[in-house]
Amino acid sequence: MSPVRPEHVSRISFASPPVGHRGYHAGEVDAYLDLVAATLAGQGALAADDLRNVTFDAARPGGRSYRADQVDEYLDQVRVELEFRQRGAQPVPAANNSGQALLTPDDVHRIRFAQAQTGQRGYHEEEVTAFLDLVAASLAHDGPGSLTVADVRSVRFTEARVGSRGFQRDEVDAFLDLVVTAFDNAEQNDHRRAHRNN
């Protein structure tokens, strides 16, 4: 699987929000994605924290807009990669629209999280690792049962034991966002296959 590349950012598209909902101002999102693409190409200066804190205005009624949840999910994926690049680590896989899995069990086993900053309590490392084993087993359609999107959204990890910093929360949360997207994508592909076979 390939990492997010500048050309991927240039080609990404988002749906319009449902009727009655106001999405993000499309022009603002497009301009920001130009900065993201430049950063991924080594010509920009955005950091992972910049993506975490960015906000977009709501589009004016009748104006061109993008679904907020789709934009947020995509920026989560880019943010995780920027965090890994900043640490010189292997980036996580990028989303794609080809019908291929967004994550494989090997991707999950390969992921490594930084320790929480000094003075902060991160997530309990053994709990996170055990949950990721369940994620990998579910992606492989193997092991004791399969996790659902709801399971991933509802998981809550305890704080690391006193004397242990644990895993950086933001990194774990961002990766779980990617897992949710991967599970959603897999479920949609399963539904499409089921409809074709009926």
Q: Say if 91 falls within a structural domain.
A: no
Tokens 């009748």 identify what position?
Answer: 62
pLDDT given at position 82? 78
Q: Which of 86, 119, 153 is the last residue of a domain?
A: 86
| Side-chain half-sphere exposure of 74, counting CA atoms within 13 A | 24
Q: Say if 44 falls within a structural domain.
A: yes
Read off φ and ψ for residue 95, nearest 5 degrees: -70, 155
Q: Say if 57 falls within a structural domain.
A: yes
pLDDT given at position 121? 86
Q: Say if 188 falls within a structural domain.
A: yes
Ranges of the chain with pLDDT below 70: 1-3, 86-102, 141-145, 189-198
Same domain, 110 and 171: yes
Same domain, 181 and 110: yes
Q: Which of 86, 119, 150 is the last residue of a domain?
A: 86
pLDDT given at position 32? 93
pLDDT given at position 1? 37
Indicate the number of domains in the chain: 2
pLDDT given at position 25? 94
Same domain, 165 and 192: yes
pLDDT given at position 11? 86
pLDDT given at position 29? 94
> Measured between alpha carbons, how far is residue 14 from residues 30, 101, 102, 141, 192 in Å?
10, 19, 17, 30, 20
pLDDT given at position 142? 47
pLDDT given at position 79? 80
- Residues 101, 34: Cα–Cα separation, whole Å: 27
pLDDT given at position 6? 80
Using CA of residue 160, residue 151, residue 95, residue 58, what is the dihedral sign?
negative
Query: Mind listing the pLDDT tens digit for each residue in 121-138?
Result: 899 999 999 999 889 888
Domain, as residue range, for 134: 105-197
Q: Say if 99 falls within a structural domain.
A: no
